[in-house]
Structure 1
Amino acid sequence: MEKLINNLRTGQQELAKWEGGKMAVSAVPGAGKSHSLAVAAAITINKNNLNNNRQLLIVTYTRSATASIKNSIKKILEELNLPPIGFTVQTIHGLAVNIANRHPLLSQLHLEISTLIDATPSHRIIRTTVTEWAKNHEEYYHLLLKGKNTETEESERLRRDSVLLTEVLPNFAHNVIRQIKSSGLTEYDLDTLQDDPTNPYPLMAIARGLYHEYQELMQKENLIDYDDLILGALRVLENDNARKIWQEEIFGVFEDEAQDSSPLQGKLLEILATDSDNSEVNFIRVGDPNQAINSTFTASDPLYFKLFCDQCQEIGQFFAMNQAGRSSKIIIDTANTTLKWINQQIREKFEDKSFNKLDSILPFREQEINIVDREDKQLDANPQAEGKGVEIYEPENIYQTVELISKRIIQLFNNQKAKETYNLAILVRENRQGSFLYKHLEFLKNNYNIKIQLINDINNYAHIPRQILSILQFIDCPHSREYLKNALETLQNKILIEAQDLNALSIYPEKFLYPSAIEPPQSKQTKKARNYCLKLLKSRLELPHYRLIPFISSLLEYQASELATAQKLSDKIHKQIIGNSSLKTMISTLQEIINSEKFEGVETDNQNIYTEKGQVTIMTMHKAKGLQWDYVFLPFLHENVIPGSADPYVPKSAKFLGNYNLPDITRTILRSLTHQKNSGHKNSPLTSISLASHESHQLKQGEEYRLLYVAMTRAKKLLWMSSAKKAPWRWNYFEDNGNVFQLQDSKPCSVIMMLKSVQK
């Protein structure tokens, strides 16, 4: 054990020497927190003679991380000649299921007869919630429908109706329901937060109504969501006897990636970490608030990990794991410079004393990454940089960007030894950027034997049944506005058609699909969308219904695992409808499969697919979290993307509501209420739409900066960054036809300009 501890760095050693109580560890990127967490776990198990009856609980947030930590602990226990017992590694939701299953009456969850769903904005339950709310709250709905203008033509009213029911309100419902449930807010809490009378819309009243409709529907259909699992587990632990049973079984809790925790998740773990005899809390939380990149679109909130760090600092139990051996020194220096500079820019922007929430919107905690000591045991720690180590370019346009990238890749993989030794990633902000790069770099495979791998953001295949259902429903009922729009959305998401106002296209399906001579000529983008729809309708006439799913899979350009999943889905449907096979029964069966949430895709990939040697991996910055490559390329770093435009982005289709992103604003107001309730803040929660819009925008920009920081710190030997002088205004509306004249002048991300000036 002494040898294990001595091989650890400062910060890591404090974790391994933990004797009990609360401890917070803030770990910089590449600090080796997972390894040191595994060492600390093995030492704790040995010191305290933990066994199957009294265990150490390690909690993380992905199944892949769970498997990795479990294997690491087992390996270290084996080195210590100890049996692989005395610990359990679980995801937070897996833990909640175990607690709820053992005490079904206390949890009020009956998992054997309930269906667990992930209620995304496109999920049927959210859409039904919105429809029921609009029906039962006509006054509020018509207020939204009216928007800023009182007089509207029939076509505009229909368009607004479509925007509200299929875009604004589903996103609104999804945001507020998750925020309410994950924060532990009660209906009483919601009632106490009244709407500001100066607001144009009663957002809290709308939120309460949607939440109430959602809960009623979930109960009626015997459905539960992931937040219900946490709430159910907490109900169990409110019972003295049940709580004592669990606390006696658990010696302590180690939480990994604590910055991604929600208030209720933190509460659940702290209860389990409490000793039933002396009330001591044996709780270690390890994370990095500077790598919090999910809080503006999930229920996670890094504020609570920051507060935990502050509490531990007061009792001398806060430690920084700030040495990292992943990257070369120049990349580390660049990341540190970026962090400090961004925080300074925010301070200068809000130096006006009237703004009293500066600390809450600073993107980063001041924490430098340091290189490791010379005697460090990590092999090739802080490796020698490739070339300059950090290369920054400003090509003329996005096509020249591709040329520069391809030439540099060819240089880096110029021989077989390099292909067997090194790997490379191109990290982008949007999926469409990744598809663009993949299309223009595919030639490297044939011409230079360099493998190109495009990784989609979707890491499971739940989208496939829904996409196929949207197409089949349109084929079956093409005159439906809803089904036409859903089909167009699927085509747009698959980047088969350009982004455009789908509400305008779907208002009158007949006019869109079969325009008469007196109709205005359709645009090129509209014609392309129409042609795809006509292909689908033609397939209904030319193919038997049981061949439609393979045809749709081909038309949507599914790849590898997606095709296998679609075939598995097709086989499952046709087995269930033998003797009563038709398009109608296919659709009905597919709808049942989606509602049951029990269909699993065919997984053919593993974690190595992201970091294979000799491979160019193209993926989004979000999906790159936790990974590393020898060479990392970050193209298309423009100001309108990172940190985003100066004003909050509001979709053009929703402009009739004003310059407000209502889902984001309401979520920010609810989060403010949560902070006041759970953090001891004395400030009153936000109620003003204008102030909430401002704060929401600042938080979103801060998260974009953290995303850039995470992407930069994935690189080991080379960090390549670029910002093209001409780029698409919005990638969603970009048609890749080689025409540079459709590109617009684009300002580079301010970080690019700062780093260029530093290099000079």
Structure 2
Amino acid sequence: MNYRSDQKDIINYESGTMALPAVPGAGKTFILTHLAGKLILEGNTESGKILILSYMTSSCSNIKSRIIKFLEEKGINSTKDFEVMTIHSLAMKIIKEKPDVLNLSDEFKMIDSVLQASFIKQAIIDFRKRYTKEFDSFIDPNKKKNIKGAYDSIEDNLTRCMTSFIGEMKCKGISVDMLKDITKDIDYTDMMKLACDIYESYDLNLRKQGLVDYNDLLFMAYKLLKEDEDLRDKFQNRYAYIFEDECQDSNEIQGKILEILAQKHGNLVRVGDLNQSITGTFTSSDPRFFREFCKSADRIQKMFTAGRSSKEVIDLANYLVNWVREDHPVSSCRNALENQIVLTVPEGENPQNPINPKYGIASYIENSWEDSIRRFIQMVTLYKEKYPQKTIAALIPTGYMIGQIGERLQKMNIEYDELSDVSNEKLVTTKTLGKILDYISSPYDNEKFQIVLKDILINEQYDDSYKLYDFIKKCRLEDLLYPNEDLCIPDEIVELSVYKDFVSSLDLVRKFLEFPQLAIDRLILYIGEKLKFSREEKAMMEKIASDIRFLLISNPKWTLKDIAKELEESKNNKFNYFAKFVYELKGYEPTPGKITLSTLHKSKGLEWDCVFILGLTNLHFPVELTDKFMGECAYLKKEYSNPLALLRASLKKLLNEEDIKNPTIKAREETISERARLLYVAITRAKENLILIGHKENQELPSIYIKELKKFIESEKNRYVGC
């Protein structure tokens, strides 16, 4: 195997701590999997396995399959020498060893984000009702005329804020009792008192229902490893090497777990890109942990050469880095991006960089968001026609904006995939089940019966199927389902090409109707079995059945119709939430000619031939401290406008860690910095072509980023050879 010059020292690693800072497209997954395979081949795993941790379930699947392929090519058909998982899967594995020590039952369940948000929001509402005067003291007096609108907006904002803040406290090991102790002298006009009250209510709800959240997992695993010597020895002996991917997204507790596990053998490899740290403003992750590891590791091997993107895309990404570091108008944000200039693969080292016959980058500033959508659809349609085998993505700031574009593409019959927490693809299973259960609840409803036939059971688009449905409309369903000798189906219906499928569908419907409805969870599993669902769909069915058992305990009066309505009604219900985890198992591979719609955050780790970045405004990509910031609540007084920033600062002060004079300004600086990195991530998803689109609308203006990048693009285009 020929390795690039910046990969050769890495592949020769045998022991110790090693930091691998890497730029986008540097081949970090390639080198990690090859390094793991090489260590196994050379017999370095006799004293323990290699543990590889990655941020996403899909990344774990990808890494595992690559290692298996590498080993199979060398004649080894075994996975016994390595394990690949997320940090939360590892934590779960540790806790499952001794749940009783943590006062957990063997059957403890994870809370999903929908129920978590519900607990927290209800606690906020209860606080507001108990302490109305104190709660109202947070509200901007000029906004109290619309008090219901103020309450709704603030409650939604505080729900997001408290979800993040509670997670951070748990990762720091701060329990409810500890927070109550350090806030005992604070009155209820201080937002920390509200935080304490919400935390206590949320924690009580978890314990009542035997639930834990993902931050509980990390802290409990750390606590067990630290306090239980036998358990600690077991896991330290189990893993001789520990590799961590996406280390820039680590938090403090995750780092502590890895340090404990690596103590015996001392072999810890951490890979990351500080310029792709894009979750710190809303999670407990912090790039400083990877930065500190880079300073303390036995060796550091930089992977700054990239072979994925064209030279033009790389030059634009490097220009963004240089502009932020040298010319950003907010001096405190000039360290947002590390001085990691991406290098193209040297000639003779198997270059993979795509070569564009023409300059493949463009930028546009439109007069409205609607004009941006029109520009995108016009350009993407032409691109699809010209390059039908190319992959295409539109990276968009919010899920709401994705929905608007998706609706337009749907009307124009343009195929697309949606990458969001609960995209259309992931909703198919729940909606399918919802339609079937809705029909079973009204078995002689002709319209619902036809919906099940058309949308689920008869998949083929027969030209003559409309004749069948016209016939069904005139029939009584009970006569079709349970025919007697008097029923006479006309020959022209029997001779239809769809008729054979219709007869099979009738048989299946009868089986569904005859299944005992008292056992709804078993009925759901039965439906999944009869419909011959895929692995992912069956996993969804099992989770839905399990959740329904749980929900019926809390809601004993729920009928089949209620469950069907919940399954069909909303993207934001507890059943659909699980879909994102199930579909991450198989990962995502772009389909040529099919447009991928994704938020910028979801695009990390993926790549496409052509990338459109839309919504480049000062709202979504702020540069100045005077820009509008999405995390701030307009209904709150200025000093409370960013509750999460205020709570983080208050906690630091109470713990005597730091006294932040202006939390809102500091939070704005952090948001500006993180958004610069987010734009960098989006740009580096493109392999060949990149189109940037900004717009102005109402109070939104084109982001300074697109203005600066547009200057560079135009100058490059003018001097591009052959343009």
TM-score scaled by length of structure 2:
0.73
2:134 is aligned, of 129, 132, 143, to 143
Return the letter of the residue paired with 1:285. R
Q: Tell me the CA shift for residue 616 of structure 1.
A: 2.0
Residue equivalent to 2:284: 299
Residue equivalent to 2:59: 65
Residue equivalent to 1:513: none
Map 1:21-100 → 2, pairs under 5 A: 21-50=16-45, 54-84=48-78, 85-100=80-95
Q: Does 1:282 align with 2:267?
A: yes
Q: What is the SS of the residue equivalent to 1:383?
A: coil
- Deviations for 1:301-340, whole angstroms, at most 9, x for unmatched residues? 222112211223xx4x122111110011111011001012
Q: Tell me the CA shift for residue 180 of structure 1.
A: 0.4
1:349 is aligned, of 330, 338, 357, to 330
2:416 is aligned, of 444, 448, 452, to 452
Over aligned residues, Cα RMSD in angstroms?
A: 4.2
Q: Tell me the CA shift for residue 203 of structure 1.
A: 2.9
Q: Tell me the CA shift for residue 159 of structure 1.
A: 5.2
Q: Does 1:221 align with 2:221?
A: no
Residue equivalent to 2:123: 129
Partners of 1:414 and 1:222 lie apart in 2 by 54
Residue equivalent to 2:311: 329
Q: Tell me the CA shift for residue 569 of structure 1.
A: 6.3
- Per mean C-alpha deviation after superposition, the further-off stretch among 566-575 and 328-337 is 566-575
Count of residue correspondences: 601
Partners of 1:728 and 1:605 lie apart in 2 by 38
Map 1:333-482 → 2, pairs under 5 A: 333-346=315-328, 349-350=330-331, 358=332, 362-377=335-350, 381-385=352-356, 387-414=358-385, 418-420=387-389, 422-442=390-410, 445=413, 451-458=415-422
Q: Tell me the CA shift for residue 427 of structure 1.
A: 1.2
Based on CA coordinates, which of the two structures has the bigger radius of gyration?
Answer: 2
Return the letter of the residue paired with 1:332. I
2:112 is aligned, of 98, 102, 118, to 118
Q: What is the SS of the residue equivalent to 1:636?
A: coil
Residue equivalent to 2:522: none
Partners of 1:571 and 1:50 lie apart in 2 by 39
1:633 is aligned, of 598, 612, 615, to 612
Q: Tell me the CA shift for residue 104 of structure 1.
A: 2.2
Return the letter of the residue paired with 1:711. A
Q: Does 1:657 align with 2:637?
A: yes
1:167 is aligned, of 156, 174, 187, to 156
- Deviations for 1:25-56, whole angstroms, at most 9, x for unmatched residues? 111001111110001111222334425x7211
1:102 is aligned, of 97, 102, 107, to 97
Residues 397 and 727, structure 1, Cα contact 8 Å, conserved in 2: yes
Q: Tell me the CA shift for residue 152 of structure 1.
A: 9.8
Q: What is the SS of the residue equivalent to 1:286?
A: strand
Residues 427 and 633, structure 1, Cα contact 8 Å, conserved in 2: yes
- Per mean C-alpha deviation after superposition, the further-off stretch among 20-29 and 400-409 is 400-409
- Deviations for 1:479-510, whole angstroms, at most 9, x for unmatched residues? xxxxxxxxxxxxxxxxxxxxxxxxxxxxxxxx
Q: Structure 1 pair 243/599, CA: closer, same or farther in 2 (3 Å)?
A: same
Q: Does 1:752 align with 2:706?
A: yes
Return the letter of the residue paired with 2:52. I
Map 1:250-261 → 2, pairs under 5 A: 250-261=239-250
Partners of 1:62 and 1:661 lie apart in 2 by 32
Partners of 2:252 and 2:549 lie apart in 1 by 45
Partners of 1:444 and 1:160 lie apart in 2 by 39
Q: Tell me the CA shift for residue 349 of structure 1.
A: 2.9
Residues 425 and 631, structure 1, Cα contact 8 Å, conserved in 2: yes
Residues 111 and 213, structure 2, Cα contact 8 Å, conserved in 1: yes
Residues 293 and 707, structure 1, Cα contact 8 Å, conserved in 2: yes
Partners of 2:583 and 2:139 lie apart in 1 by 50
Q: Structure 1 pair 652/213, CA: closer, same or farther in 2 (3 Å)?
A: closer
Partners of 2:615 and 2:546 lie apart in 1 by 42
Q: Structure 1 pair 123/462, CA: closer, same or farther in 2 (3 Å)?
A: farther
Residues 257 and 288, structure 1, Cα contact 8 Å, conserved in 2: yes
Return the letter of the residue paired with 1:696. A
Partners of 1:570 and 1:235 lie apart in 2 by 33
Residues 61 and 587, structure 2, Cα contact 8 Å, conserved in 1: no
Partners of 2:429 and 2:638 lie apart in 1 by 32
Q: Structure 1 pair 208/339, CA: closer, same or farther in 2 (3 Å)?
A: same
Q: Structure 1 pair 208/56, CA: closer, same or farther in 2 (3 Å)?
A: same
Q: Structure 1 pair 604/368, CA: closer, same or farther in 2 (3 Å)?
A: closer
Q: Structure 1 pair 414/9, CA: closer, same or farther in 2 (3 Å)?
A: same
Residues 292 and 302, structure 1, Cα contact 8 Å, conserved in 2: yes
- Deviations for 1:697-718, whole angstroms, at most 9, x for unmatched residues? 1111111111111110011111
Q: What is the SS of the residue equivalent to 1:284?
A: strand
Return the letter of the residue paired with 1:623. K
Residues 32 and 324, structure 1, Cα contact 8 Å, conserved in 2: yes
Q: Tell me the CA shift for residue 248 of structure 1.
A: 1.2
Residue equivalent to 1:736: none
Partners of 1:190 and 1:321 lie apart in 2 by 43
Partners of 2:151 and 2:693 lie apart in 1 by 42
Residues 182 and 299, structure 1, Cα contact 8 Å, conserved in 2: yes
Return the letter of the residue paired with 1:21. G
Return the letter of the residue paired with 1:218. L
1:266 is aligned, of 231, 255, 264, to 255
Q: Tell me the CA shift for residue 693 of structure 1.
A: 0.9
Partners of 1:672 and 1:33 lie apart in 2 by 36
Q: Tell me the CA shift for residue 213 of structure 1.
A: 2.9
2:197 is aligned, of 194, 205, 209, to 209
1:180 is aligned, of 153, 169, 179, to 169
Partners of 1:102 and 1:413 lie apart in 2 by 53
Return the letter of the residue paired with 1:727. E
Q: Structure 1 pair 271/648, CA: closer, same or farther in 2 (3 Å)?
A: farther
TM-score scaled by length of structure 1:
0.70
Q: Structure 1 pair 87/292, CA: closer, same or farther in 2 (3 Å)?
A: same
Residues 576 and 589, structure 1, Cα contact 8 Å, conserved in 2: no
Q: Structure 1 pair 407/370, CA: closer, same or farther in 2 (3 Å)?
A: same
Partners of 1:18 and 1:685 lie apart in 2 by 39
- Per mean C-alpha deviation after superposition, the further-off stretch among 605-614 and 122-131 is 605-614
- Deviations for 1:329-354, whole angstroms, at most 9, x for unmatched residues? 111011001012112234x533xxxx
1:10 is aligned, of 5, 12, 36, to 5
Q: What is the SS of the residue equivalent to 2:302?
A: strand
Q: Give the gaps of 5 or more residues in structure 2.
A: 439-533, 716-723
Partners of 1:292 and 1:338 lie apart in 2 by 16
- Deviations for 1:342-394, whole angstroms, at most 9, x for unmatched residues? 12234x533xxxxxxx48x731111011101222236xx11112531221223
Q: Tell me the CA shift for residue 441 of structure 1.
A: 4.2
